[in-house]
Structure formats: C-alpha cells, structure tokens
C-alpha cells in the first residue's frame, strides 16, 4: 500500500512551523520553520511549502492548523478559520481557511489555536497520554492554554482564554500588571513579560533564589486551583519558556498544596511539565489533521 501523508502548520506569533508526516507512523518527513511577517506573504509561504511537498510526491490528505489567537475555532460561526481581534499588527481578520481552501481545493482542513494543538500533542504522545481530561498551559511571553475534557477540546463562543483569568492578588503586590486589556489578569501578573516588567530583568536571568520565583509560584498555583475547580482535569501540564526555570515546578506544587488545603485529592503527578518540548504544537496539528479522515 502507498504511504499517505498529513500536513500541519503551527502558526506562532514569531514563527511558523510547517510539516508533512507519514500518517501511519506519525513520522515527520519534511519540516520548515520561518518567521511570521505579514499575513499575505506568510500564508503564501506556508502554502508554497505544501505545493513543493506535493511536487516531491508527498501529497497530503488533510491539514491541521494551530494558530496564535484569538481565532475563530468554532465551525458553526462565521468567523471560523480567521484571526480575530489580535494586537498583532496586520493580522486581525487574516483568513487562514480561505487562503488554504483556495490553494488546495477539497483538502480537509482543521483549524484551532496553537495551545489547543499543543494540548492535543501532549495528549497523543506526551505528558497527558492516555488521559481523557487534562489542561495544557503555556507560560511564555504571554499565558495561554487549552483544555481537553472527556476527550474533546473545549470550545464555545470562542475558545478558553486561560491567560486572562483573574487571580487573587498576593498581599503587598502593587505591580499594576501588563495585560493591555485587564492589567492584572494572570497573564498581566505572571507571564514572562510581566516578570521582566516587574523586576526589570528577564526571567532567564533571574537567580534561582530571587523572590520573584516564590511570587510566580503563588500566582501559578492560584491559576491551577481555578483550573482544578472549573475543569476538574486529571492533570495540568505547565509549559512555555518560563517553566524552563527548573525549581519552579516543585515550588508551584508546594504552593498548590498549601493553597488548596487538602480539598482535592490530586495524584502526585497532577502538575507536570510537557514531554514533547517544542514539538508539542506541530505534533498536535498533525493529529488534528489525522482526526479529519
């Protein structure tokens, strides 16, 4: 039997990752990364990648897209397949689905957020393998997340905006917060950008014993409490650049224990870091493509 192929696009705010995988093995055969510039040339470059692939004999049967948001991910709504009100210059209204439908007529296409795709990736082959209900969050330049409950990505009017959840302020913390919309939502208080603004030094340069980490752990534990109370997941995966600060995970686990005060009997590996690293997103995009046929 001839092998069949799937396509994935992880559309990040700074870079795009395009890949073709073999459907059966899941092995990535072609991959290209390039910077995100304006929508017309960036989407054309992505389409060009799959045209080149097809001229080499790798004709994809379905495409999965995971994009930075906010994005129209609900198939029943008119904004499906488009970027919504993003602060990213020039991208509001960018029509992913329309562009790829024009270039690849009849190709089945799945469209979702990058964090939802990463959640699917970790569920298929990473830290949430075998679980029906889990949440994936990323603490990077901003904070975002996706929730899979009973095997389904949560979607509604939009998609969850975990980074914009409000948390209780720690006593004595007078930092205004950096979210342009809400100031002191969790992204405003605890993203990499917030750490940088609050302490005047980037997260990767902060020493392990800096008080920044205790405060960071308290806020992220508080976010995990809210996620536990709302979604009742079996596990929460915490990824993104800020989690590369290794002692942070254990500090969050400790703060979570104190904060939740024995209310939930969560397993030992309830709060974990991802297993797929920077491949979670593209793996999930390819998985979304696989789910189409």
Contacts to Zn ion by CB under 5 A: 164, 179, 181-182, 185
Site for ligand ADP in 115-174 (CB under 6 A): 138, 140-141
62 binds ligand ADP (CB under 6 A): no
Beta carbon nearer to Zn ion, 6 or 165: 165
Nearer to ligand ADP, 109 or 215 (CB): 215
Q: How far apart are CA 243 and CA 266, in angstroms?
A: 21
245's contact among ligand ADP, Zn ion, none, with CB below 5 to 8 A by partner kind, is ligand ADP
Asked if residue 240 binds ligand ADP (CB under 6 A), the reply is yes
Binding mask 163-202 for ligand ADP (x = CB under 6 A): -----------------------------x---------x
Number of residues forming the site for ligand ADP (CB under 6 A): 14
**CB of 37 or CB of 202, closer to ligand ADP:** 202
- 184-191: long-range contacts at Cβ-Cβ below 8 A with a sequence spacing of 24 or more? 186/143, 186/162, 186/219, 186/220, 186/222, 186/223, 187/142, 187/143, 187/163, 189/219, 190/139, 190/143, 190/216, 190/219, 190/220, 190/223, 191/139, 191/140, 191/141, 191/142, 191/143, 191/163, 191/242
CB of 179 to ligand ADP, least distance (A): 14
241 binds ligand ADP (CB under 6 A): yes
CB nearer to Zn ion: pick between 193 and 253: 193
Q: Report what 26 binds from ligand ADP, Zn ion, none; CB cut-off 5-8 Å by kind.
A: none
Q: Which residues contact ligand ADP by CB under 6 A?
A: 12, 14, 138, 140-141, 192, 202-204, 240-242, 244-245
């Amino acid at each position: 039997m001839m092998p069949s192929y799937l396509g994935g696009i992880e559309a990040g705010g700074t870079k795009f990752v395009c890949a073709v995988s073999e459907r059966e093995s899941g092995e990535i055969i072609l991959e290209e990364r390039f910077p995100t510039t304006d929508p017309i040339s960036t989407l054309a470059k992505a389409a060009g990648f799959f045209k080149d692939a097809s001229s080499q004999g790798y004709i994809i049967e379905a495409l999965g897209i995971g994009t930075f948001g906010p994005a129209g991910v609900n198939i029943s709504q008119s904004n499906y397949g488009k970027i919504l009100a993003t602060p990213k210059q020039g991208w509001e209204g960018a029509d992913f689905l329309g562009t790829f439908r024009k270039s690849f007529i009849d190709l089945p296409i799945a469209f979702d957020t990058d964090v939802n795709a990463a959640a699917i990736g970790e569920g298929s082959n990473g830290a949430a393998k075998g679980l029906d209900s889990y949440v994936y969050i990323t603490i990077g330049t901003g904070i975002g997340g996706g929730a899979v409950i009973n095997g389904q990505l949560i979607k509604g009017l939009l998609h969850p905006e975990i980074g914009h959840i409000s948390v209780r302020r720690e006593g004595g913390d007078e930092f205004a917060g950096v979210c342009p919309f809400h100031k002191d939502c969790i992204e405003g208080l605890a993203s990499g950008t917030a750490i940088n603004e609050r302490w005047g030094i980037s997260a990767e340069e902060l020493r392990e014993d800096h008080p920044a980490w205790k405060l960071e752990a308290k806020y992220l534990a508080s976010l995990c409490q809210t996620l536990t109370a709302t979604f009742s997941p079996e596990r929460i995966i915490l990824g993104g650049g800020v989690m590369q600060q290794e002692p942070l995970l254990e500090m969050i686990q400790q703060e979570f224990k104190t904060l939740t005060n024995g209310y939930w009997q969560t397993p030992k590996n309830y709060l974990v870091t991802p297993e797929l690293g920077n491949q979670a997103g593209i793996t999930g995009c390819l998985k979304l493509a696989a789910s189409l046929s």
